[in-house]
Structure 1
Amino acid sequence: MINKEKVKALAFDFGGTLDSPFMHWMQIYLQLYTTKLNLPLTVENFRDSYVFAEQMMERLQLVKPTHSLLETQMFKTRLQFDNLLDRGILPDTKDNKECIPEEAARLVTDYSSAYVIRSQKTLKALSQRYTLLLVSNYYGNLKKVATDLGIATYFSSFTDSTLEGVRKPDATLWKLAIERAGFIPEEVIVIGDSMKNDILPALSLGCQVIKGCPSIGDLSEEVNCITSLEELLQLLDS
């Protein structure tokens, strides 16, 4: 149960929590690529390319603080498709090198944007009652992306792993956000979709937690869970 009397702040993860229905982003890419672009991809043949792109995004530091969500996705999808071509999963054609990665980036950006827009009403209501913190493994442009998506005004701070030089699951990222905002862990609820990156690190600090789950079948008996962001209001009011 949530000890609502102590709660003063809500600390949100971003990717997989505010920009999708609590789904891992590899699943979302795969879903869009197979249903919208009709690409012959599976979890087995796409996973390595997804991981490769994530690692290279961090290593190459291509993203600047001024880059938009679309520009960020352009870097990522090009890395994914370069790897898919190098591994022979997709044929080495001009379309697969240029046109389709760009189309993929736009598809992913539209998907993410549409979901964040759905979150605005709930975030606005929550921001009127609590201090909201945004904490994410991101690329240095978390605040820019949140601003472009129309949710930045609801958050009092943005803690971006690239700017801080520390990544979740290291609990230090959550600790930095909480301490800078002037709270102690007991006063903060951490909301995230990942047990490894969000929930367990938050519990280790002494925070309260709420895990986002894609469906009722994914609910955990170990922690408080929601299947939509709107359920946060109900849970905190109950």
Structure 2
Amino acid sequence: MKSNKIRGIIFDYGGTLDTRGDHWSEVIWDGYQQCGIAIDKPSYRDAYVYGERALAVNPIVTPEFHFIDILREKFQLQLQFLCGCPLFPTGKDDDQRQAQLATHLEMSADEIGDTAMRIATCINDATNALLHENRKVLERLRQAGLPMVLVSNFYGNIRTVLRDAHLDGFFKEIVESAVVGVRKPNPAIFALGVCALDLPASEVLVVGDTYGKDIVPAHQLGCHTIWIKGRQWEDKPADESICDDVITRLEDMLKFVSQNA
């Protein structure tokens, strides 16, 4: 049985601290629209999936990568996919999906690089503004004496990204999928976060933006959960009754925490 007492918090990173619960595919799609990239959304989504797969299984990102470096690599991979360029191996059907694109782009290698950097700069600036806002929430939680742990599916450079965002001092421990070798939605990655807090799961609150990857596995462990709900990758029905709260801005969690800490 869950305790009513919250004594520690686990945060997701991507989509939770750096967007308002919006899946990063939607954030990037906004960037495409703002920068005038003429592509249909189904083709873009195939390119997005390819880019994530390529980053996951190929040694592209190094621990020294800054966030804007990740964005640049994501966009280059996506644009290469949309332009019909040779692909990195992923073990999936990306070549077939690329061949079946409804629309495609025509860019030179230099144009791909320039366009990728232009979109990356635009999105990085917007992300930094939101991180500044959410840093204030973390500061209030720290002042309340609540230990925090970060649990994230990331590329091996989350510590660099946190340092750039001035968020590196908030977390007792960082559990990163590329380092520990287990990824969400496996509850084991959240179990590592619970262990780092040295608390019973029933006294831990997990805050995440993805129902299937954050809320469900954390609930299975017996943790409290808050879903920061923005635009999702898939519009699937979700049993919100397993959440302690559903919010749209990170600061909205403070009321629940103050009532239960």
Q: How does 1:158-197 map to 2 (within 5 A)?
A: 158-197=174-213
Query: Among the aligned pairs, what percent are the same residue?
Result: 28
CA distance in 2, matches of 1:163, 1:94: 32
Q: How does 1:79-228 map to 2 (within 5 A)?
A: 79-86=77-84, 87=98, 89-94=104-109, 96-129=111-144, 130-214=146-230, 221-222=240-241, 223=243, 224-228=245-249
Q: Which has the higher contact order (CA 8 A, sep 6+)?
A: 2
Partner residue, 1:11 = 10
Aligned partners of 1:61 and 1:139 also within 8 Å: no
Equivalent pairs, count: 233
Partner residue, 2:252 = 231
Secondary structure of residue in 2 paired with 1:152: coil
C-alpha deviation, 1:155, in angstroms: 1.2
C-alpha deviation, 1:220, in angstroms: 6.5
CA distance in 2, matches of 1:55, 1:106: 23
2:35 to 34, 37, 57: 37
C-alpha deviation, 1:204, in angstroms: 0.8
C-alpha deviation, 1:94, in angstroms: 4.7
Q: Which runs of 5+ in 1 are unaligned?
A: none
Secondary structure of residue in 2 paired with 1:154: coil
Judged with a 3 Å threshold, the aligned counterparts in structure 2 of structure 1 residues 71 and 201 are, in CA distance, closer, same or farther, namely same
Partner residue, 1:60 = 58
Spell out, residue by residue over 1:57-116, the C-alpha distance to the aligned partner (whole angstroms, 9 max, x if none): 011131111211111212111111111111461113355422101111212222222211
Partner residue, 1:74 = 72
CA distance in 2, matches of 1:175, 1:42: 40
Instruction: Letter of the 2:199 partner, please give it.
Output: F
Q: Which runs of 5+ in 2 are unaligned?
A: 85-97, 232-236
Q: CA RMSD in A?
A: 1.9
C-alpha deviation, 1:132, in angstroms: 0.8
Aligned partners of 1:90 and 1:96 also within 8 Å: no
